[in-house]
Amino acid sequence: MNTSQKLILGAVALVALMSAVNSADAPTYKAQVKKDNQTVTCLMMQGFISVDVDYMEVSTNKTKHLNFTISDNATTVGTCGNMTDSLGLLYVDGEDDLTLTFFFNKTSDTYKLGNVSLTGNAGKNDSHINYGGKFVNFTTEVGSSYNCSKATKLTMDHVTISLSKLRIEAFKDDKAKNPSFSTTVNDCDPVYKPTDAIVPIAVGAALAGMVIIVLVGYCIGRRKTRAGYQNMNA
Tell me the pLDDT of the chain (234 aa) as tens digits. 555 554 444 544 444 444 444 444 444 678 999 998 788 999 999 999 999 999 988 888 889 999 999 987 789 999 999 999 999 999 998 889 999 999 999 988 999 999 999 999 998 777 899 999 988 788 889 999 998 888 889 999 899 999 999 999 999 999 998 999 998 998 866 543 333 444 455 556 666 666 576 565 666 666 655 555 455 455
Q: Which residues are registered as beta bridge partners of 65?
A: 54
Alpha carbon separation from 128 to 65, 70, 123, 137 (Å, rounded): 13, 19, 9, 27
> What's the pLDDT at 83?
95
Q: How many CB atoms lie within 10 A of CB 87?
A: 22
The verdict on residue 152 lying in a domain is yes
> What's the pLDDT at 206?
60
> What's the pLDDT at 3?
53
> What's the pLDDT at 191?
43
The verdict on residue 97 lying in a domain is yes
Buried b (16+ CB within 10 A) or exposed e, 143-164: ebbbbbbbebebebebbebbbb
The verdict on residue 85 lying in a domain is yes
Angle between helices 198-233 and 3-24 (to 10 degrees): 170
> What's the pLDDT at 189?
60
> What's the pLDDT at 225?
57
The verdict on residue 72 lying in a domain is yes
Taking a C-beta distance cutoff of 8 angstroms, is the pair 130, 119 a contact?
A: yes
Domain count, the chain: 1
Provide the domain limits for residue 70. Answer: 27-192
The verdict on residue 98 lying in a domain is yes
Residue 162 sits in a domain of what CATH number? 2.40.160.110
The verdict on residue 6 lying in a domain is no
Q: Give the burial class of 31: count Cβ atoms within 10 A of its Cβ; 0-12 exposed, 13-18 middle, 19 or more buried.
A: buried
The verdict on residue 176 lying in a domain is yes
Taking a C-beta distance cutoff of 8 angstroms, is the pair 95, 129 a contact?
A: no
- Distance of alpha carbon 164 from alpha carbon 102, whole angstroms: 15
The verdict on residue 115 lying in a domain is yes
169 contacts: CB under 8 Å, gap ≥ 6: 43, 44, 45, 144, 145, 146, 181, 182
Q: Which residues are registered as beta bridge partners of 33?
A: 43
Q: Helical H runs in the chain?
A: 3-24, 198-233
